[in-house]
Amino acid sequence: MNEKVSAIILAAGKGERAGFGRNKLLAPLSGAPALYHTLQKFYTEDIDEVVVTSSKFDLKEISALCAPFGYKVVLGGDTRTQSVKNALDKVTGDIVLIHDGARPFVTKELIKKCIGAVKSYGSAICALKATDTAVYGHYGVICERLDRESMYNIQTPQAYLTDEIRSAYISAGDKVYTDDSAVYCEFIGTPRLIDGEQSNIKLTYARDFECGLPEFKVTGDTRVGFGVDVHCFGEGNSVILAGEKISCDRGLIAHSDGDVIAHAVMDALLSAAGLKDIGHYFPDTDEKFRGADSMRLLKEVAKIINKEGFAPSNISVSVQAEKPRLSAHIGAMTENLSKALSLAPENIAVAAGTCEGLGFVGEGLGITAYCAVTLKNIQR
């Protein structure tokens, strides 16, 4: 049977022990928020759906990180247990992997192994055999020695049949657990242990962000692109810029809707991804694109670069126009770009100015838009 595989990535904690004054998962690690690396690991053909938990404080930032991957974001709860429950409510797969966002060093190989094991055994808990001797201690003295031979340190991911783990969590009621295997043990049965990875540590304290961490492979992660477009004024009484219809005493002449901003952004994105320009994808000799809605084409371009393994990190647009006045429309234009590209508005800037009467823009003959973008790698 071809079971649907979902994953839950838990990111709704406060990270108090790390002491950064905010969620540790948004703190930088190898040039990106720590959570970004975890999200990237689950971007694999083996997983059909990813649900990420976030607190309401981090919702905007975590949603922006998840958007390029197409992951769902749900509000977590006050405890990890409650966060898992909230996410389980949204999961639609037959199998579910539950993973701490705080374990960015997990590998795609371990994720694959975990999925293979749950398909064979009905559960799969990544764990490492204990190497240190462990004891029960109370009030500073050892009360009981434990048999190290049968001791394991539990990690995530942990994989379950969705129906089973969901029903276990329902049975758990309001009780709080530190991991999912404990809930499974209590209400379902004995889950299967599989070998975890030594490097799959959980970022807990500030020091975990600094010393002895496995290196992330840097593969030209940031790409830069630049795009320019010009259209000249002709008949009409409005222009469309970044999807916003703005009154003007002239219109812009174009095969499409003449949205110079959308066109400059598309060229910048394609260029950053090392692809051909918009003329190649949407030729102006093709009747199909007559009067085309350029923001729709921009969404297409976003999909094209996603397929190449990239997503925009920030976009900087500069427009030169003697008319119409654009300042009142900057917010709406930014919002339109944000929606088309699933990129948080904080990562988009649109600036507008005139040309002080100089050149073709200054003489009111047309409008020019420039755009610079950076892309990040979201390679599967």
Q: For binding to ligand CTP (CB under 6 A), which residues are involved?
A: 10-17, 25, 53, 76-80, 83, 100-102, 202, 204
At which residue do the structure tokens 């795009």 appear? 227
**Residue number with CB closer to ligand CTP (176 or 365):** 176
Which is nearer to ligand CTP, 35 or 298 (by Cβ)? 35
**Between 176 and 358, whose beta carbon lies closer to ligand CTP?**
176
> Closest approach of Cβ 73 to ligand CTP, in Å?
12
Q: Which does 356 bind (CB under 5 to 8 A by kind): Mg ion, ligand CTP, none?
A: none
- The Cβ of residue 123 has, within 10 Å, a number of other Cβ atoms equal to 24
Out of ligand CTP, Mg ion, none, which partner does residue 301 contact, by CB within 5 to 8 A per kind? none
Go through the chain and tell me how many residues it has.
380
Question: What is the DSSP track for 12-74?
Answer: ----GGGTSSS-GGGSEETTEEHHHHHHHHT-STT-SEEEEEE-TTTHHHHHHHHGGGT-EEE
159 touches which of ligand CTP, Mg ion, none (CB within 5 to 8 A by kind)?
Answer: none
Q: Which does 100 bind (CB under 5 to 8 A by kind): Mg ion, ligand CTP, none?
A: ligand CTP
Q: What minimum distance in Å lies between the beta carbon of 268 and ligand CTP?
A: 34
With a CB cutoff of 8 Å and minimum separation 6, the contacts of 96 are 5, 6, 7, 8, 88, 159, 160, 161, 162, 165
Per DSSP, the chain holds a count of helices (H) and strands (E) of 11, 18
Minimum distance from CB of 13 to Mg ion (Å)?
A: 5
Beta bridge partners of residue 349, listed in sequence order:
316
- Give residue 313's region: left, alpha or beta (phi > 0; psi -120 to 50): alpha
Residue 204 binding result from Mg ion, ligand CTP, none, given CB thresholds of 5 to 8 Å by partner type: ligand CTP
Residue 179 Cβ, how far from ligand CTP at the closest point, in Å? 9
Select the binding partner of residue 78 from Mg ion, ligand CTP, none (C-beta < 5 to 8 A, by kind). Answer: ligand CTP
Q: In the complex, which residue's CB is closest to ligand CTP? A: 13
Taking the complex as a whole, the smallest distance from the CB of residue 110 to ligand CTP amounts, in Å, to: 17
Q: Which does 202 bind (CB under 5 to 8 A by kind): Mg ion, ligand CTP, none?
A: ligand CTP
Sign of the Cα pseudo-torsion (277, 281, 286, 290, in order) = negative
Q: How far is the CB of 154 from ligand CTP (least distance, A)?
A: 12
- Residue 205 CB, nearest distance to Mg ion (Å)? 12
14 vs 299, beta carbon nearer Mg ion: 14
Contact 324, 247 (CB under 8 A): yes
Q: Is the Cβ of residue 98 or residue 321 nearer to ligand CTP in the bound state?
A: 98
Q: Which is nearer to Mg ion, 179 or 308 (CB)?
A: 179
Q: Is 293 exposed, middle or buried (0-12, 13-18, 19+ CB in 10 A)?
A: middle
Phi, psi dihedral angles at 249 (to 5 degrees): -75, -5
Binding mask 5-44 for Mg ion (x = CB under 5 A): --------x-------------------------------
Closer residue to ligand CTP in complex, CB, 52/262: 52
**Residue with smaller CB distance to ligand CTP, 73 or 260:** 73
The Cα-based distances of 194 to 46, 157, 172, 271 in angstroms read 18, 10, 24, 44
- Measured CA to CA, the distance from residue 334 to residue 346 in angstroms comes to 9
- The token duo for 93 is 């797969």
How far is 130 from 151, CA to CA, in rounded Å?
5
**Out of ligand CTP, Mg ion, none, which partner does residue 380 contact, by CB within 5 to 8 A per kind?**
none
Return the residue matching tokens 């647009």: 317
The minimum distance between CB 75 and ligand CTP, in angstroms, equals: 10
77 versus 309: smaller Cβ distance to ligand CTP: 77
User: Nearest residue by C-beta to Mg ion?
Assistant: 13
Q: Which residues bind Mg ion (CB under 5 A)?
A: 13
